[in-house]
A and B are shown apart, each in its own frame.
Chain A
């Protein structure tokens, strides 16, 4: 990733949402064009210059600082890296197609879920979302592909109606995980954080070194500076298949014991 712009919120006027604050929209604009770029704010349009202090230069890494809680940050993002210091509202990375979002804070509902106006109502189809804090309900709602990692807890039903992709959750317990999931992987890193939902069947317990896909996902997160310890890479995981009322091809990995 090359360096890019940093936008620090001035605190005067709040945008309607964060959908336009994307590296693939703003990152390649020259300074003059960026300053004049407008965003809906209530009944008017406001320029980036009016809303933010701008530092940095053209690049594919956009950083947002001191942001109020905005919905739809990173929605439909296709490339680049978006780093957000602060909390996010609903639909962080909604229907995103590529790139990387790093949220240094907490997120509200439907991380990676469907964006408004998406005709097939599908969530993210690519890219990666890393959250250092917690996420609220329905993380990964109808997600189709990609990776979401939450270092803290998730609210109700992470992986709700998930189509595919991977969700890694640092802390349990999980509340109705993978409800109506069709495929995809939910991975919980806290040992014995919950009882198995009755719509999952337990396949068994496996050491992580014998499960290369798990190793790949956690190695990928490690390379993105997500907190993954060396001990975790040698732990045992229980595997469950579900949702039994759907295709039963989804999987829930629950850490059983730390190495």
Chain B
């Protein structure tokens, strides 16, 4: 048995899936407007089950880290495939970022080209038509940007953004002695993961309270509540709750590659494994659906 502090690390694995991801850099005149832009662009972006993309803030950027010398942020979008990103990214940029005061949008993976493992998503090349003939383009350091006249000046947007194969669905579940304790531990985990590159936690505040399982008694539903982890029905189901566990929260992690997700899981579990947390587990579907398996014991053994 592996324990971190007093917390049991279950011998489970997280089952994750192939996805595609794009990184978009957004800048604005102030921190307030960067925050608003991020909030809007990543809204309604928790799960591709019902949303067009899974989206989250990867990292904030200082003025020295952005192409135009203004403060900004890097946002990661994940979708089932490149075709889905072709739709979701321009839509979100057009509806949520172009409309937001003072923003500009740049490619966060400019080195990517069209290949089997990567793609270019057309962005400014299509959005430019909003300029109604008054738009201009500018090439700087070999990269093309479109300048669309808007009421506060210009909306600058890069012609295309890169997309790459990525992974979605890395996860771990935190079982606490109380709901408050489990939530606090989950918050600590999310805060620790937020400092890492190449990953996002797309659910609200990075945390899922309504973890799901495949299948349902209702034919119309392909997913339903993860009853084995629900504390109010533990006597009525094949509960996986250890004695004393009153609540579980799940952290779902999407990342650009396996090592980024492994590292995020390790850092998150370390942060969550506090006195009030009885066990940390992981969610999977038996191992036959997702190509990527993140085994908790292997991941945590590396940190011991």
Asked whether any CB of chain B lies closer than 8 Å to the CB of A153, the reply is no
Say yes or no for B154: interface residue by CB 8 A criterion.
yes
Which of A8-16, A32-40, A206-214 has 4 or more CB atoms under 8 Å from chain B?
A206-214
A211 to B185 alpha-carbon distance, docked (Å): 43
Q: Is A220 at the interface (CB under 8 A from chain B)?
A: yes
A222 — which chain B residues lie within 8 A by C-beta? 69
Query: Which chain A positions have C-beta within 8 A of B70?
Result: 209, 212, 215
B266 within 8 A of A: no
Contact status of A210 and B69, CB under 8 A, knowing A183-B136, A216-B145 = no
CA gap between A222 and B68 in the complex, in Å: 11
Chain A contacts for B67, CB-based, 8 A = 216, 219-220
- Give the total of A residues in contact with B, Cβ under 8 Å: 26
Chain A 132-149 residues near chain B, CB threshold 8 A: 145-147
Chain B residue nearest in CB terms to A98: B142
- A218 pairs with B69, CB closer than 8 A: yes
A164 to B145, CA, bound (A): 13
Judged by a CB distance under 8 angstroms, whether B102 is at the interface is: yes
- A126 vs B66: C-alpha distance in the bound complex, in angstroms? 22
| Interchain CB contact under 8 A, A220 and B152 | no
For A215, give the chain B residue with the smallest CB separation: B68
Q: Does A31 contact B (CB under 8 A)?
A: no
With a CB–CB cut-off of 8 A, which chain A residues contact B139? 126, 145-146, 164-165
- B286 in contact (CB, < 8 A): no
Check if A67 is an interface residue, CB within 8 A of chain B: no
Contact status of A220 and B140, CB under 8 A, knowing A206-B153, A213-B145, A213-B154: yes
B221 contacts chain A at the CB level, 8 A cutoff: no
Q: Judging by beta carbons under 8 Å apart, are A212 and B27 in contact?
A: yes
Taken together as a complex, chains A and B put the C-alpha atoms of A216 and B66 apart, in Å, by 9
Tell me, rounded to whole Å, the shortest Cβ–Cβ distance linking B185 to chain A.
41
- A residues within 8 A CB of B120? none
| B38: chain A residues within 8 A (beta carbon) | none
In the complex, which residue of chain A has the Cβ closest to the Cβ of B29? A209
Residues of chain A lying within 8 A (CB to CB) of residue B153: 206, 210-211
| Bound CA–CA A245/B67 (angstroms) | 34
**CB-CB nearest in chain A for B71:** A209
Total B residues in contact with A, Cβ cutoff 8 Å = 21
Asked if B104 is at the interface of the complex by the 8 Å CB criterion, the answer is yes
Contacts of A50 in B (CB 8 A): none
Q: Is A233 interfacial (CB-CB < 8 Å)?
A: yes
Asked if A102 is at the interface (CB within 8 A of a chain B CB), the reply is no
B140 touches A147 (CB 8 A): yes
Write the A179-204 contact mask toward B (1 if CB under 8 angstroms, else 0). Answer: 00001010000000000000000000
B83 in the interface (beta carbon within 8 A): no
Verify B154–A211 contact, CB threshold 8 A.
yes
Taking CB atoms, residues of chain B closer than 8 Å to A128 are 141
In the assembled complex, the Cα of A216 lies from the Cα of B136 at a distance in Å of: 15
Contact between A213 and B69, CB atoms less than 8 A apart: no
B281 at the interface (CB under 8 A from A): no
**A211 and B136 alpha carbons, distance in the complex (Å):** 13
Q: How far is the CA of A40 from the CA of B215 in the complex (A)?
A: 80
- Chain B CB within 8 A of A156 CB: no
Residue B240, interface by CB 8 Å: no
How far, in angstroms, from A212 to B152 measured CA to CA in the complex? 12
Contact B136 A212 (CB under 8 A): no
Distance in Å: Cβ of A73 to nearest Cβ of chain B: 22
A166 at the interface (CB under 8 A from B): yes
Cross-chain contact of A249 among B29, B68, B136, B152 (Cβ < 8 A): B136
Chain B 146-183 interface mask (CB, 8 Å, partner A; 1/0): 01000011101000000000000000000000000000
Interface residue from B29, B66, B104, B140 paired with A217 (Cβ < 8 Å): B140
On chain A, the residues within 8 Å of B29 by CB distance are 209-210
Measured CB to CB, the nearest residue on chain A to B27 is: A212
B156 touches A213 (CB 8 A): yes
**Shortest distance in angstroms between B61's beta carbon and chain A's nearest beta carbon?**
13
Cross-chain contact A219 with B142 (CB below 8 angstroms): no
Residues in B neighbouring A166, C-beta threshold 8 A: 138, 140
CB-defined contacts of B154 to chain A, threshold 8 Å: 211-213
Asked if B152 and A219 sit within 8 Å, CB to CB, the answer is no
How many Å from the CB of B14 to the closest CB on chain A?
40
Contact call B102/A215, Cβ cutoff below 8 A = no
Query: Residues of B with Cβ closer than 8 Å to A?
Result: 27, 29, 66-70, 102, 104, 136, 138-142, 145, 147, 152-154, 156
Cβ contacts A to B, 25 pairs, < 8 Å? A98-B142, A128-B141, A147-B140, A147-B141, A164-B139, A166-B138, A166-B140, A211-B154, A212-B27, A212-B104, A213-B145, A215-B70, A216-B67, A216-B68, A216-B138, A216-B145, A216-B156, A217-B140, A219-B67, A219-B68, A219-B69, A220-B140, A220-B141, A233-B69, A249-B136
Apart from A220-B67, A220-B140, 10 more pairs, CB < 8 Å: A209-B102, A210-B102, A212-B27, A213-B68, A213-B147, A213-B156, A215-B68, A215-B69, A216-B68, A249-B136
The 4 closest A-B pairs by CB, nearest first: A215-B68, A212-B104, A212-B156, A219-B69
